[in-house]
Structure 1
Amino acid sequence: MSMTHFPADRTAYVRAHLWLALGAMAGATLILWLIGNPYVWTGLVAGAGAIALRGFYLASEELAAVWAIEGHDLTGPGGQRISLARIETIRTIGSFVQVITRDGHKYLIKYQADPQATMTAIERARA
């Protein structure tokens, strides 16, 4: 029986962190401006630095995550196993694919190079 794998993609990981950094930079700068800090430019440095540090420390864990379709189950990191028959909703959110089961449990397949293709493969396996 063949398995379909959905590994995390480094390019999607970096792209997601660039967007996070832009948001953090804008947010930090806005807060400093609103409170009247004369050094609003430090918000740019703080936002970029915080997300860069986060990305660096989490990269090895996040990029090692691999989801797969194994028989009638969707398996993920940490021993997660979801019966394909229990899946109610599948949708993309940026580079993530969100899987929601009939009992309301939610799972994220993160940093997919082609989240639409991942979603389509899961939907095809469910059929």
Structure 2
Amino acid sequence: MTDETIATFTGNRTTYIKEHVMLAAIGSVAAVGVLMAMGNEHAWTGVVGAVAAIAVRGVYVASEQIGQDWVLTPTTLVSPAGVRIPRTEIAKVRTIFSAAQVITRTGDKYMIKYQSDPAATAATIEGARA
């Protein structure tokens, strides 16, 4: 007997880009701050370095991160790696930035990343548990 699919959660490209822009901005401020604290006359290079690093990382792993599908059935939540989490073992679902974090009764934690509406993702999983 196969379980019917209640919902599929896939990373959202727009959310992924927004999160990387935010990381680049935070990295830029941090890099400039460190360079200024060190007395570097060219602190602006921190912006260039941070933006370049986050951009390269973003492009390099985009297809891998966005292409991950989580599948919710009446009995389980299945990760992209095929890990089956019985819904009876899900203790809590909470949101962290653009992710929904699933916490099991044994303390294992799983992140469903780059959700356009992580609260809705969490609510769907919580609703399936009820």
Which residue does 2:65 correspond to in 1?
62
Which residue does 1:121 correspond to in 2?
124
Structure 1 stretches of 5 or more lacking a match? none
Which residue does 1:77 correspond to in 2?
80
Which residue does 1:50 correspond to in 2?
53
Secondary structure at the counterpart of residue 41 of structure 2:
coil
Deviation, 1:81, is 1.4
Q: 4+ residue runs of structure 1 moved beyond 6 angstroms?
A: none
Structure 2 stretches of 5 or more lacking a match? none
In 1, Cα distance between equivalents of 2:96 and 2:5: 27
Which residue does 1:31 correspond to in 2?
34
In 2, Cα distance between equivalents of 1:34 and 1:75: 47
CA shift digits 1:55-107 (9 cap, x unpaired) = 00010100100111023100111112111111111111111001111111000
In 2, Cα distance between equivalents of 1:23 and 1:13: 16
Identify the match of residue 16 of structure 2 among 4, 13, 18.
13
Assess if the C-alpha contact under 8 Å between 2:5 and 2:71 holds in 1.
Answer: no
| Structure with greater proportional helix content | 1
User: Structure 1: which amino acid aligns with 2:12?
Assistant: D
Q: Aligned-pair RMSD on alpha carbons?
A: 0.9
How many residue pairs were aligned?
A: 127
In 1, Cα distance between equivalents of 2:6 and 2:93: 19
Secondary structure at the counterpart of residue 79 of structure 1:
coil
In 1, Cα distance between equivalents of 2:77 and 2:83: 8
Which residue does 2:103 correspond to in 1?
100
Deviation, 1:40, is 0.1
The answer to whether residue 79 in structure 2 is matched with residue 86 in structure 1 is no
User: Structure 2: which amino acid aligns with 1:126?
Assistant: R
TM-score (norm 2): 0.94
4-13 or 67-76, which deviates more: 67-76
TM-score (norm 1): 0.97
